[in-house]
Amino acid sequence: MTTTPVANHPNIFTHRSPPSTSSSPALLFLNRTNFIPYFSTSKRNCVNCNGWRTRCSVAKDYTAPPSEVDGGGSGNHFSELDCVVVGGGISGLCIAKVISANYPNLMVTEARDRAGGNITTVERDGYLWEEGPNSFQPSDPMLTMAVDCGLKDDLVLGDPDAPRFVLWEGKLRPVPAKPTDLPFFDLMSIPGKLRAGFGAIGLRPSPPGYEESVEQFVRRNLGDEVFERLIEPFCSGVYAGDPSKLSMKAAFGKVWKLEQTGGSIIGGTFKAIKERSSTPKPPRDPRLPTPKGQTVGSFRKGLRMLPDAICARLGSKVKLSWKLSSITKSEKGGYRLIYETPEGVVSLQSRSIVMTIPSYVASNILRPLSVGAADALSSFYYPPVAAVTLSYPQEAIRDDRVVDGELKGFGQLHPRSQGVETLGTIYSSSLFPNRAPNGRVLLLNYIGGATNTEILSKTESQLVEAVDRDLRKMLIKPKAQDPLVTGVRVWPQAIPQFLVGHLDTLGTAKAALSNNGLDGLFLGGNYVSGVALGRCVEGAYEIASEVTGFLSQYAYK
C-alpha cells in the first residue's frame, strides 16, 4: 500500500482508503459513550479515493448447485429462503448471525465488495486505526456477540479511569468520572452545579406539552451550563448533530423516560433502581468477561475483526457485490428480490426480508411497494463527517497534557462556541494497545457534522490543516513538526440524525408497510436501533427476535 504526499505538506502522508456511530445524566453520557460511534453506509465515494478495497476473504460468492435452480425464466433462480437480510453492515451481519441459529436457510446481500459496512480498520507501517466507528460500549449483548464469534481472547478494553476532557475557555478540562468528583471539577461554576442539582431533583419548569429537543430538555432540567459545556459538545461528538434539532426522546430515550416515569431525573432514577431490585435478574452468561468501570472496547486487530468473524461463520450465506434492483410481493406469499450480481441477474424468493441499508437507499427500493413508507424513510437526514487520523511524536504533546511521560486519557470534545472546527479527538494510541509505534501518538479527529456541512467542499489537505490548527490550540505544541497523516476519510452521508419527530416518522414508515400488507418486511440499521456500534448490535438481537417470531407463525399459515 502506498502513501501520497498532501499538497503544501511535504512531510505529511495520507492513506487513501475506500468508501464503504448514578451521577447527573449529563455527566453519565460523557463517561459511558464513545465519540462518533457509528457511520451509515454511503453511496458516494470519498473525495480523491484511489479505489482500494478491503474484502472479507471468508465470505465467498455463492453459486447454487443444480438442485437449487428453478429452471424457469431468465437469469439465476434460487429455492425459497426463510430470510434475506439486505445490507452486510454490522446490523445486517449480526441480525443474520442470530436468526441463523434457528433458521439457517437465509442470505445476506451486500452491494459493495466487502462486508462490515463502514467499520473500516486500517493497518500500515506500525499503525492501526479506525476510519468509521472507533469503539463500543461493552454491554452484555455486545460481549455475547463477540464471544459467540470466537473473539473473547481478542477483546481489548480501555482504561476505565482514563479521563475525558472538554475544551472550555482555552483549556482542556476533565469531566468528572464519579460522583465524588462533582464538587471539585472546574468545567462548571458553583451556581451551574447547584442549578443542575436542583433541576435533577425536580425544582425546574414542568415538561411542555410537545416533544422537546435535546437543548430544550437539558436547559429546562439541568440548566444552561450543563447544556453548553457538556451536552452540546457531546451531541456534536456522538451524533455530529445540532442539539437544538435532535429529539431528546429519540436520541436519549432512557434519560427522557426517567422524567416521564419518576417526575424528575433523580425521581425516575430511584424508581428504576427500585424496579430492578424487585425483579430477579436472569443469571449472567458465565462466558462473558466483566468489564471494570465505565470503559469502551475494541479488538486486538481493530473493529474489523467482528464482521470478519461473523462472515466466517455465515460463510457462503454472505453475498458480496449484489445490488438489489427490486422487491415485489409474490403471489404464493413472501417476496421476490431481483439482484444485479457479478454472475448476472439473480432472483430470490424469501418468506421475510430485513432492510438494514440506509433509509434513503431503502426508500428508493420500497417506493413501488409503499409510497408512504418511502416518503417517511427519505426524510431522515445524514450530514457529512470526516475522520482525520494524525500521528505526532510524543514530544509534540504539550507538557501540561503529559502524565508520567505519556498522553493519557480517552479523548476530548469541543463545544461549537469555543472557536475550533474539529468536533472531537480520540487518543487512539492511549486508549488501546499497539495502535502506534513507540514514541508516536495517534489521534483520531472528527470534523463536519450537521453544523459544518462545508467540509464536502474541502480538500484532504485543507481538512488536515484545519484539524492540525485546532490541535495546536490545546493539545499540540504550537511549533511542533508537521504530523504524519495516516488516514483521511470523508463520509458524505454519515450519521442519521434523530431529529424531533424521528420516532413518529419511523412509526409512519412501519405502519405504511403494514397497511400495504407487507408483513414479514422489517426495517433495521442504525436509524432504527441507534447510532452507537453497541446499540446496533443490541438492536440486531431485538430485530432478529421479531423476525424469528414471524417465521415461527409463518410455518402454521
Q: How many whole angstroms separate alpha carbon 171 and alpha carbon 347?
A: 59
Backbone angles phi, psi at 107, to 5 degrees: -150, 145
Look at the alpha carbons of 284, 289, 290, 296 in this order and tell me if their dihedral is positive or negative: negative
C-alpha cell read off for 155? 477483546
Q: How many whole angstroms separate alpha carbon 110 and alpha carbon 118?
A: 12
The answer to whether 511 is annotated as binding is: no
**Residue 304: count of CB within 10 angstroms of its CB:** 22
Residue in the structure block whose three cell numbers are 434523530: 498
Complete DSSP assignment for 362-403: HHHHHTTT-HHHHHHHHT-----EEEEEEEEEGGGB-GGGEE
Q: How many whole angstroms separate alpha carbon 359 and alpha carbon 88?
A: 15
Side chain identity, residue 189: S
**CA-closest candidate to residue 336, choices 322, 324, 350, 323:** 350
Q: How many whole angstroms separate alpha carbon 61 and alpha carbon 57?
A: 10
Q: How many whole angstroms separate alpha carbon 361 and alpha carbon 356?
A: 10
The answer to whether 91 is annotated as binding is: yes
What b/e string do you get for 437-474 counting C-beta neighbours within 10 Å, with b at 16 or more?
A: eeebbbbbbbbbbbbbeebeebebbebbbbbbebbeeb
The answer to whether 454 is annotated as binding is: no
Backbone angles phi, psi at 135, to 5 degrees: -170, 180
DSSP designation for 49: -
Q: How many whole angstroms separate alpha carbon 471 and alpha carbon 211?
A: 37
Where helices occur in 57-115 by DSSP H, the ranges are 90-99
Q: How many whole angstroms separate alpha carbon 234 and alpha carbon 213?
A: 14
Complete DSSP assignment for 426-441: EEHHHHSSSSS-TTEE
Which residues are registered as beta bridge partners of 345?
340
Q: Which residues are annotated as a binding site for FAD?
A: 91, 110-111
Binding residues: 91, 110-111
